């Protein structure tokens, strides 16, 4: 087993996943963010190589066909994917890695890394989710309605995750997310992989 943990965080658009992950990374220096590849255009303030690796469709398809992705999915007409080799090398080196992907990608990741810890971020209600999407001021009404409908479908897969965090209050949700990460590290198989010296004496008595 790899010494590092793998955390998979999923949420419908507008649930606050990006903000919560950003705050988690600032608080917990042991967690590293896995940067995915995407064919969607950068949003205001995003930089290539920081939020995502932004590539065109032809380049993405070529990487996919070479088997370079741990998981990939098409979401709202855009492709997203995670580099398998880079992620595994980071975990073998003992780094805790975090993926921000949708439920379809999370399913693919669990097939290759069954020990991955799934965390799903939920909005308190669909009405609140729609309010947050409108508050962005980035999308047309048609896009908002499509995202709300898609969110409902995504949330029906919440039972496939290990932890569920309802983001009604940002600070409380952050505390819950940090607690889930800390608790996951204490599982016996994870402790044995990260600290073999502590368990080694058990086999010598």
Q: What is the DSSP string of 91-106?
A: HHTT-EEEEE--HHHH
φ, ψ at 6 (rounded to 5°)? -120, 120
Long-range contacts of 84-87 (CB under 8 A, 24+ apart): 84/112, 86/34, 87/6, 87/34
Closest to 2 measured CA to CA, from 108, 113, 82:
113
- pLDDT class of 133 with cuts at 50, 70, 90: confident
- pTM recorded for the entire structure: 0.81
Number of CB atoms found within 10 A of residue 101's CB: 23
- pLDDT class of 2 with cuts at 50, 70, 90: confident
In order of start, what are the domains of the chain with their CATH numbers?
A: 6-195 (3.40.50.300)
For residue 205, pLDDT over 60 is answered with no
Task: Give the E-state strand segments of the chain in sequence order.
Answer: 6-10, 31-33, 37-38, 53-54, 69-75, 78-83, 96-100, 117-122, 163-166
Asked whether the beta carbons of 10 and 118 are under 8 A apart, the reply is: yes
Residue bearing the bigger pLDDT, 36 or 118 = 118
Residue bearing the bigger pLDDT, 134 or 84 = 84
Closest to 112 measured CA to CA, from 79, 80, 74, 69:
69
């Amino acid at each position: 087993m790899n010494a590092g943990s793998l955390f998979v965080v999923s949420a419908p658009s507008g649930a606050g996943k990006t903000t919560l992950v950003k705050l988690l990374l600032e608080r917990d220096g042991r967690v590293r963010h896995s940067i995915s590849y995407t064919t969607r255009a950068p949003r205001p303030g995003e930089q290539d190589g920081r939020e995502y690796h932004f590539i065109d469709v032809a380049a993405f398809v070529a990487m996919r066909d070479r088997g370079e992705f741990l998981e990939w999915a098409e979401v709202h007409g855009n492709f997203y994917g995670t580099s398998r080799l880079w992620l595994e090398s980071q975990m073998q080196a003992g780094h805790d890695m975090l993926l921000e992907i949708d439920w379809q990608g999370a399913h693919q990741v669990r097939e290759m890394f069954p020990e991955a810890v799934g965390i799903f971020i939920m909005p308190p209600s669909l009405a609140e989710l729609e309010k947050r999407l409108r508050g962005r001021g980035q999308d047309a009404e048609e896009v908002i309605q499509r995202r709300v409908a898609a969110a409902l479908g995504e949330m029906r897969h919440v039972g496939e995750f290990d932890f569920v965090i309802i983001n009604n209050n940002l600070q409380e949700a952050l505390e819950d997310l940090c607690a889930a990460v800390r608790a996951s590290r204490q599982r016996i198989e994870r402790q044995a992989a990260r600290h073999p010296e502590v368990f080694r004496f058990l086999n010598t008595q």
